Amino acid sequence: MPGLLRSDRGGLSVSSPSGERKDACSLRIIQRDESPMEKGLSGLRGRDFELSDVFYFSKKGLEAIVEDEVTQRFSSEELVSCNLLTRTNVNFQYVSPRLTMVWVLGVIVRYCVLLPLRLTLAVIGISLFVIGTTLVGQLPRNRLKNFLSEVVHLTCCRICVRALSGTIHYHNRQYRPQKGGICVANHTSPIDVLILTTDGCYTMVGQVHGGLMGIIQRSMVKACPHIWFERSEMKDRHLVIRRLKEHIALKEELPILIFPEGTCINNTSVMMFKKGSFEIGGTIHPVAIKYNPRFGDAFWNSSKYNIVSYLLRVMTSWAIVCDVWYMPPMTREEGEDAVQFANRVKSAIAVQGGLTELPWDGGLKRAKVKDTFKEEQQKNYSKMIVGNGSLKSELD
């Protein structure tokens, strides 16, 4: 009888009686038909409308309910092997006595040895960061202030990465973002900023936060012209666009760091890039970040955990291990609009990081599907019916 073992953040390992281990990613609940609507419906009917069309749409609806490819990107990634961490998304688990002993030893090491050391480093790093940026912020804007700001950012971020037992592998450093450019990367967690700033300084663009994150943001902006905005305020969006255009016009300024997805994704996929970052011109420096979930889950489910709870979960993991790929700079091609450019950059990041590329908006994490998406499917179906089952007749 196969044994089922769940690990931290829902890690999954399945063993067959022969000892063969199967990949959890291959154990999908359903097998989807990825063919477009035109092809799918042609197999169910002739060229005219029939009531049997309902079965096609019912099938697609049930597929989305059983295994939604969007909302599952906002929960922790499934693992293919046990990483001896304790938190799990299910109550059922099979653990042998030997494995239990190893797990208990791991708890003692992680909570009694590693956690105190990490907390000490984190307090030192955050305290130095807040104090250092506040003091540097009192200086007038000149080269000395910029130099001291970069020293404070680099030093304190490296201390904070040590507090997470971070092991980072940087690839293709010759493509590191240059001053006056825009760095765009996939987004998994707030520590993405620490990971990148450990290797170079950036001007940040991001959502305003409260609590501990808010304190850090307010101290950061004193030493460096970071751009914080409120997502719900339309006037903030226009202000951000204007600030970005002014910033890239000054070639001596630090590169701007933007996460175009607008929210944290669980490091298995890259979701839709917002076009605003690609409308302002300038050189885009793509960066792909991929975490190794075996040692710890870096994904931040902001709707479930506040930043302090999240950091404690990370600090009680084994380590944060990730790869960062700097990619060749990209510019907008002639005749290419902002959406096409954003999709091209997104595809490049997905391929480099080994991530799944999805067309969906990450804003679905907090909001319902827009009516325009529903209407688009309705229009496509209407065109098929009006065109007697063929889109070509309408074009003719």
Report if residue 133 sits inside a domain. no
pTM to 2 decimals?
Answer: 0.78
Residues 6+ apart with CB under 8 A from 352: 286, 288, 325, 327
Classify residue 287: in a domain, yes or no. Answer: yes
- At 52 the pLDDT is 72
What pLDDT was estimated at residue 34? 65
Domain count across the chain: 1
Residue 85 in any domain: the answer is no
- The verdict on residue 289 lying in a domain is yes
Output the CA–CA distances (angstroms, integers) from residue 191 to 151, 303, 369, in the order listed. Answer: 19, 17, 29
pLDDT at 11: 37
Asked, for residue 109, whether it belongs to a domain, the answer is no
Residue 1 lies in a domain: no
Taking CA atoms, 361 is separated from 35, 158, 369, 373, in Å, by 21, 32, 9, 11
> Pairing state of beta strands 284-291 and 320-326?
antiparallel
- For every one of its 396 residues, what pLDDT tens digit does the chain have, with 9 covering 90 and above? 333 333 333 333 333 333 333 334 444 556 666 666 666 666 544 456 677 777 777 877 777 777 677 777 877 777 766 777 755 444 445 567 887 788 889 889 999 999 999 999 999 999 999 999 999 999 988 889 989 999 999 999 999 999 999 999 999 999 999 888 899 999 999 899 999 999 999 988 878 887 888 888 888 888 888 888 776 655 666 777 887 888 777 778 889 999 999 888 988 899 999 888 888 878 899 999 999 988 888 998 887 888 888 999 999 999 999 999 999 999 988 888 999 999 999 999 999 999 989 888 877 776 777 777 777 777 877 777 766 444 444 444
- Residue 171 is part of which domain span? 165-364
In a domain, residue 77? The reply is no
Residues whose CB falls within 8 Å of the CB of residue 11, separated by 6 or more in sequence, listed in order: 78, 79, 80, 81, 82, 83, 85, 293
- What is the per-residue pLDDT for 252? 80
Q: Which residues share a beta bridge with 320?
A: 166
Residue 91 DSSP one-character state = S
Q: What is the pLDDT of residue 236?
A: 65
Joined together, the tokens standing for residue 216 give 């850090």
Q: Is residue 306 part of a domain?
A: yes
pLDDT given for residue 178 in this prediction: 86
